[in-house]
Structure 1
């Protein structure tokens, strides 16, 4: 058998997998986390609006520092919105990677 065909076990598998319903309160925890995510998205909308206003004000008033800070704030707010919106998918993707080891 070639060295590439051999199965190499890199770490000990304790055989523990996540399961829903093991502890009480899972529905409440999901509701709390969803609410935190919603508040985060609402805050990002406000931050984006303020950043865009600072960017526009800095551009039209000749305030280069304010314009630069507005641009940075807009990029950070857009990145935060992307992260908040994709958080569930990112965790699901990387969680599924661990279950593909044979």
Structure 2
């Protein structure tokens, strides 16, 4: 008698019992500080990139340099997207982590 597909897949549904818990390893506070510092450096770099991109955009517009103007627009858009991503990083990870815990 053949084995039903659901029973064949049941052994693949093993729960290893792993869940994230704070305080499991030493150095977690140091790692958080390092990641926060990296995020801060990223935000500062984005501010600089946005300023340069806006200056290139304005320079290209006023001198008739269409390619410089287009590159300035692209740079400003990328910098704005990077700022959005850096600012929302915690929320994005928390959102998808919460979704992941609902999968059974």
Using structure 2 for the length normalisation, give the TM-score.
0.86
Residue of structure 2 in register with 1:35 after alignment: 37
- Taking the aligned partners of 2:40 and 2:21, their CA distance within structure 1 comes to 25
Aligned mates of 1:98, 1:12 — CA distance in 2: 16
State the 4+ residue runs in structure 1 displaced beyond 3 angstroms.
none
Secondary structure of 1:22 counterpart: coil
What are the superposed Cα offsets for residues 33-76 of structure 1, whole Å, 9 maximum, x if unpaired?
00000000000000000000000000000000000000000000
- Identify which of 43, 46, 49 aligns with 2:48: 46
Cross-structure match for 2:95: 93
TM value normalised by structure 1: 0.87
Where does structure 2 lack aligned partners over 5 or more consecutive residues?
Answer: 1-9
Aligned residue runs from structure 1 range 44-83, under 5 A: 44-83=46-85
Gaps spanning 5+ residues in structure 1: where?
A: 1-8
Q: What's the C-alpha RMSD, in Å, of the aligned pairs?
A: 1.5
User: What is the CA distance between 1:98 and its match in structure 2?
Assistant: 1.5
Query: Rg bigger for which structure?
Result: 2
